[in-house]
């Protein structure tokens, strides 16, 4: 029987005894209370209330409705408390896929998340591959480049990241200072995969002779370490250059400001472990965060 609203009204009327008190308790007009009772009595083919000077007195059938309502109300109260406790005591794993450069920016939010929910483990997958959120390969995806257009994912803009060509002082000591007019006299490190959403990586392939590309890797962190060790010239974030005293930016005409997006599958966004992490991201000052 699809009469949950009317059953709730009858329960409240049996408990409170008057139309006015019932209407106030459930936030409707007195006439709505009367209509609900009429509909329910017609549906059950039984009289639920007798009216007298004191108000509405439940019949034996009305008392059954009241007893059912009390049990149901108690169950909902217990369920609400259980759900609140589950959210407060989050445990398990939150899986985030992102390129390794993003972990520095994500870490303050991750630390705060684990302060609030110490039983949660964060599994960070550093991979260029686009993981399928629908099939649970990851809970959240952090992606760079044009705004993703997958229909089943909610896309949220996080921030823009500046990318620049740089070199370590140890490289300069060995090979000299790179300039825009002598780049093909120097050594470069590059991502092996040529992916459209990383235009700075394509810039190296388009502007540097193949023999001058001396280190390739599918891992951003490997390339960053190679730059820091003087193994070659390469791209990294301006934030990383500023954080490392030994790195020096090389000025080139091209500049890239890369938008960073967070993706969550629409069926998963209200899971407590995901929603709480997003709330913390929103509270972090470095994120320019809004639903996209």
| Residue 169 belongs to domain with CATH number | 3.40.190.10
Residues making up the chain, counted from first to last: 292
**105 and 43 share one domain:** no
**231 and 278 share one domain:** no
Residue 136 lies in a domain: yes
**247 and 114 share one domain:** no
Q: How far apart are CA 61 and CA 240, in angstroms?
A: 73
Provide CB contacts within 8 A for 171, sequence distance 6+. 187, 227, 230, 231, 232, 233
Q: How far apart are CA 153 and CA 141, in angstroms?
A: 10
Q: What is the pLDDT of residue 289?
A: 44
**267 and 141 share one domain:** yes
pTM of the predicted model over 0.85? no
Q: How far apart are CA 270 and CA 31, in angstroms?
A: 37
- Structural domain range at position 149: 92-159+259-283
Q: Are 154 and 263 in contact (CB under 8 A)?
A: yes
**16 and 142 share one domain:** no
Q: Over the chain (292 residues), what is each successive 10-residue block's mean pLDDT? A: 79 89 90 91 90 86 85 74 62 83 82 92 75 71 81 84 93 93 93 83 92 91 92 92 93 87 86 90 60 36
Alpha helices in the chain (DSSP H): 4-16, 19-26, 30-44, 60-88, 103-116, 169-175, 199-207, 220-228, 238-243, 272-283
**121 and 184 share one domain:** no
Q: What is the pLDDT of residue 243?
A: 87
Q: What is the pLDDT of residue 10?
A: 87
Provide the 3-class DSSP secondary structure of residue 151. Answer: coil
Q: Which of 148, 111, 108, 113 is nearest to 131 (CA)?
A: 148
Q: How far apart are CA 281 and CA 138, in angstroms?
A: 17
Domains held by the chain: number: 3
Provide the 3-class DSSP secondary structure of residue 285. Answer: coil
Count of Cβ atoms closer than 10 Å to residue 160 Cβ:
12
């Amino acid at each position: 029987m699809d009469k949950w609203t009317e059953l709730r009204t009858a329960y409240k009327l049996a408990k409170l005894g008057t139309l006015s008190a019932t209407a106030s308790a459930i936030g409707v007009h007195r006439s709505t209370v009367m209509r609900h009772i009429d509909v329910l009595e017609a549906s059950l083919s039984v009289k639920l209330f007798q009216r007298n000077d004191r108000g509405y007195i439940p019949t034996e059938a009305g008392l059954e409705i009241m007893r059912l309502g009390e049990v149901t109300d108690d169950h909902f109260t217990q369920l609400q408390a259980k759900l609140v406790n589950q959210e407060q005591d989050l445990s398990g794993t939150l899986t985030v896929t992102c390129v390794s450069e993003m972990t520095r920016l994500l870490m303050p939010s991750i630390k705060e998340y684990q302060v609030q929910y110490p039983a949660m483990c964060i599994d960070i997958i550093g991979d260029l591959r686009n993981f399928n959120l629908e099939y649970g390969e990851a809970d959240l995806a952090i992606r760079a480049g044009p705004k993703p257009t997958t229909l089943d994912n909610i896309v949220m803009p996080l921030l823009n990241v500046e990318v620049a060509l740089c070199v370590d002082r140890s490289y300069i000591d060995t090979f000299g200072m790179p300039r825009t007019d002598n780049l093909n006299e120097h050594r470069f490190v590059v991502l092996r995969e040529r992916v459209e959403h990383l235009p700075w990586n394509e810039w190296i392939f388009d502007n540097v002779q193949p023999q001058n590309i001396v280190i390739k890797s599918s891992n951003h962190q490997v390339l960053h370490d190679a730059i820091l060790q003087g193994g070659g010239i390469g791209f990294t974030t301006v934030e990383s250059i500023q954080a490392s005293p030994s790195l020096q930016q090389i000025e080139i005409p091209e500049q890239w400001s890369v938008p960073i997006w967070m993706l969550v599958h629409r069926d998963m966004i209200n899971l407590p472990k995901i929603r709480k992490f997003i709330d913390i991201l929103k509270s972090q000052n470095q994120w320019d965060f809004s639903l996209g």
